[in-house]
Amino acid sequence: MRTRTGYSPALMRTLTDSPAWHSLKQHAEALRPISLRQLFEKNPDRFEQLSLRHEDLLVDFSKHRITPETLQLLCALARQEQLETWRDRMFGGEPINSTEHRAVLHVALRNRSERAICVGDRDVMPDVRRVLEQMRTFSEQVRSGKLLGFTGQRFRSVVNIGIGGSDLGPHMVCEALAPYQNEAFRPHFVSNVDGAHLHETLASLDPATTLFVVASKTFTTQETMTNAASARDWLVRHLGSESAVASHFVAVSTNHAAVQAFGISAERTFEFWDWVGGRYSLWSAIGLPISLALGWDSFEQLLAGAHALDEHFRAAPLETNLPVILGLVGIWYRNFLGASSYAVLPYDQHLHRFPAYLQQADMESNGKRVRRDGEAVDYATGPVLWGEPGTNGQHAFYQLLHQGTEMVPADFLAAAEPHHPLTKHHVKLLANFLAQPAALAFGRTLEEARAELTKAGLSESEIEGLAPHKVFPGNRPSTSIVYRKLTPYTLGKLIALYEHKIFVQGVIWSINSFDQWGVELGKQLAQRIIPELDASHDPVSHDASTRRLILYLRQLRGSG
Ligand code: G6Q
Tell me the three-class secondary structure of 456-512, residue by residue: CCCCHHHHHHHHHHHCECCCCCEEEEEECCCCHHHHHHHHHHHHHHHHHHHHHCCCC
Residue 15's nearest CA partner among 81, 82, 97 is 81
Per-residue pLDDT tens for 492-512?
999 999 999 999 999 999 999
The residue annotated as part of the active site, out of 175, 300, 364, 388, is 364
The phi-psi region of residue 7 (left if phi > 0; otherwise alpha if psi is between -120 and 50; otherwise beta) is: beta
Does the annotation mark 364 as catalytic?
yes
Q: Could you count the other beta carbons within 10 Å of the beta carbon of residue 63?
A: 27
Distance CA 75, CA 61 (A): 15
Distance CA 274, CA 290 (A): 21
Q: Is residue 356 helix, strand or coil?
A: helix
The residue contributing the CA closest to ligand 1 atom 11 is 164
**For residue 221, which atom of ligand 1 is closest to its CA?**
16
* Number of helices followed by number of strands (H, E) in the chain: 23, 13
Ligand 1 centroid to residue 429 C-alpha, Å: 35
Does the annotation mark 29 as catalytic?
no
Distance CA 124, CA 134 (A): 16
What are the phi and psi torsion angles at 194 (to 5°)?
A: -60, 115
Question: What pLDDT, on a 0 to 100 scale, did the predictor assign at position 12?
Answer: 54
Does the annotation mark 523 as catalytic?
yes
Question: What pLDDT, on a 0 to 100 scale, did the predictor assign at position 559?
Answer: 56
Question: What pLDDT, on a 0 to 100 scale, did the predictor assign at position 2?
Answer: 39
**Whole-number Cα distances in Å, 284 to 134, 281, 307, 365:** 11, 5, 13, 19
- Asked if the peptide bond before residue 3 counts as cis, ω within 30 degrees of 0, the response is no
- Mutate which of 220, 221, 225 for ligand 1? The one with the most ligand atoms within 8 Å of its CB, which is 221
Strand 478-483 relative to strand 410-415, pairing? parallel
**For residue 163, which atom of ligand 1 is closest to its CA?**
6
Helix, strand, coil abundance in the chain, percent, nearest 5: 55, 10, 35
Question: What pLDDT, on a 0 to 100 scale, did the predictor assign at position 4?
Answer: 42
Strand residues in 115-267 grouped as ranges (E): 118-119, 122-123, 157-161, 186-190, 210-215, 249-253
Q: Could you count the other beta carbons within 10 Å of the beta carbon of residue 4?
A: 9
**For residue 280, which atom of ligand 1 is closest to its CA?**
7
The residue annotated as part of the active site, out of 183, 267, 395, 424, is 395
Question: What pLDDT, on a 0 to 100 scale, did the predictor assign at position 520?
Answer: 86
- Cβ(216)–Cβ(224) below 8 Å: yes
Per-residue pLDDT tens for 163-216?
999 999 999 999 999 999 988 899 999 999 999 999 999 999 999 999 999 999
**Whole-number Cα distances in Å, 251 to 75, 156, 211:** 44, 18, 11
What are the phi and psi torsion angles at 386 (to 5°)?
A: -155, 170
Question: What pLDDT, on a 0 to 100 scale, did the predictor assign at position 6?
Answer: 43
**Whole-number Cα distances in Å, 113 to 277, 304, 501:** 22, 10, 22
Strand 118-119 relative to strand 57-60, pairing? unpaired
**Whole-number Cα distances in Å, 229 to 36, 159, 233, 249:** 56, 13, 6, 11
Q: Is residue 51 helix, strand or coil?
A: strand
Ligand 1 centroid to residue 163 C-alpha, Å: 6
Distance CA 302, CA 176 (A): 11
Question: What pLDDT, on a 0 to 100 scale, did the predictor assign at position 217?
Answer: 93
**Whole-number Cα distances in Å, 135 to 130, 141, 287, 437:** 9, 10, 9, 42
Distance CA 310, CA 496 (A): 7
Ligand 1 centroid to residue 166 C-alpha, Å: 6
- Residue 63 is which amino acid? K
Strand 122-123 relative to strand 118-119, pairing? antiparallel
Q: Could you count the other beta carbons within 10 Å of the beta carbon of residue 436?
A: 24
Ligand 1 centroid to residue 278 C-alpha, Å: 5
CA 487 distance to own-chain centroid:
18
Distance CA 351, CA 389 (A): 7
- Taking the CA atoms of residue 307, residue 295, residue 166 and residue 89 in that order, the dihedral angle to the nearest 10 degrees is -10
What are the phi and psi torsion angles at 93 (to 5°)?
A: 75, 20
First to last CA, the chain: 57
Q: Could you count the other beta carbons within 10 Å of the beta carbon of residue 22?
A: 11
Q: Determine which helix (DSSP H) or strand (DSSP E) holds 3, and give its type and residue range.
A: none
Residue 293's nearest CA partner among 134, 146, 108, 488 is 488
Q: Could you count the other beta carbons within 10 Å of the beta carbon of residue 43?
A: 15
Distance CA 497, CA 306 (A): 8
Q: Determine which helix (DSSP H) or strand (DSSP E) holds 60, and give its type and residue range.
A: strand 57-60
Ligand 1 centroid to residue 277 C-alpha, Å: 8
Residues with CB under 6 A from ligand 1: 163-166, 216-218, 221, 224, 277-279, 364, 516
Total-model pTM:
0.96
The residue annotated as part of the active site, out of 22, 428, 485, 523, is 523
Annotate 73-115 with three-state secondary structure. Answer: HHHHHHHHCCHHHHHHHHHCCCCCECCCCECCCHHHHCCCCCC
Q: Pick out the chain residues at pLDDT < 50.
A: 1-10
Ligand 1 centroid to residue 226 C-alpha, Å: 15
The phi-psi region of residue 547 (left if phi > 0; otherwise alpha if psi is between -120 and 50; otherwise beta) is: alpha
